[in-house]
Amino acid sequence: MQERKGLIIVHTGNGKGKTTAALGMGMRSWGQGMKVLIIQFIKGNCTYGELKTIEQLRPNFVIHQMGEGFVDGPQDDMMTRHRSAAAAALQTAEAEISTGEWDLIILDEINYAIRYGLVPVGAVVELIDKKPSPLHLVLTGREARPEIIDRADLVTEMKEIKHPYHEGVKAQKGIEF
């Protein structure tokens, strides 16, 4: 049997589907008998449809919602809480990556956390560089930094062409949450 080469995969861009693609990859991996962990850097305190599905896939598919929710930029009154939550998520990611327990770890919206200064890009680069060889690592979120892209084996950019939000259509249950 061929030794597995853990890939570094980035889903970025302004279009929808970054987390959804990562979740699909997680389900595919789980279906192949692999152990999957998702650490969410922004999402938290909200019930998304995928959480119900993942609950059924335990213990080999686990999700940790560690964020404080949507970040409204530097003027956000909750920036201290967002930074604290993101630091805890990064610490959890470091600990889990070093355990060797997981085959695939998804760092959901970590690029967004970097963008808003919730976690330093240097710390994420160090984390990537410490990744054990067989571990697959997926990083999602808009505006992936060049330092992250340079280390990736696979980068996919989701590009928005058209979105119903611009026509006044609110987020739809089962589609966006």
Residue range 21-60, pLDDT digits in tens: 999 999 999 999 999 999 999 987 677 778 888 999 999 9
CB-count exposure of residue 169 (10 Å: 0-12, 13-18, 19+): exposed
Residue range 87-107, pLDDT digits in tens: 999 999 999 999 999 999 999
Structural domains of the chain, ranges and CATH numbers in brackets: 8-167 (3.40.50.300)
